[in-house]
Amino acid sequence: MPEIPPLKTAVLLSGNGTTLQNLIDRRAALPIDIQLVVASRADAYGLVRAKNAGIATALVESKNFRRGAGAPDWSAMGAALDAVLLPRRFDLICLAGFMCFYPLPPALRGKVINIHPALLPAFGGRGMYGRRVHEAVKNSGATTSGCTVHYVTNDYDAGPIIWQASCAVSPTDTADDIAHKVFQLECEAYPAAIKIFAEKLAGGAVLELRV
């Protein structure tokens, strides 16, 4: 196995930044150099976590890209994200609780990954994020849940799967109980997937995705 140089990495988030903190806490053992954190909200606590860790930050607020009172203009927001990300030529972009749709430009195909709090393809797709996912799992009567790390494409939660981890769900579990179990899995799954991504890149593999 060739030595894996640190990947020039950006993290995109919208909220508390617990996934970011997990990556920060483990970065000494990961082949990543987190150089930038981009938030879609000015009040995202993930920005504080980044600054505490000495990581540069940028703000691309989703509220600035709304069509009046309607849905966000993801194309316009995507162009703003491109302006921040593309000049820096990141090797890897990790979505970590990023609650916005980022239409990927061709230059980022195969370079963006996400973690979803369910076993895709179940409980995925547009509008399925955060607590909504765990409530759907609970209401379905499923006896298993988990998390999925996957490549990002321009279809919600549809990119190739890199890593999955599962846990049992009991009839007495609440949505919060499921969320806790799944987050414990996420703390291990995202680092594992990043290592796989880095190993493939070091080995010369290039993933061609249709986005």
Which DSSP state fits 71?
A: -
Can you give the C-alpha Rg of the chain in angstroms?
Answer: 17
Spatial neighbors of 6 by CB under 8 A, at least 6 apart, are 31, 32, 33
> Rounded CA gap, 96 and 195, in Å?
16
Q: Strand, coil or helix: what is 103?
A: coil
Q: Active-site residues: which are they?
A: 116
Q: Which residues sit opposite 114 in a β-bridge?
A: 95, 150
Helix or strand run (H / E) with residue 26:
helix 18-26
Which DSSP state fits 106?
A: G
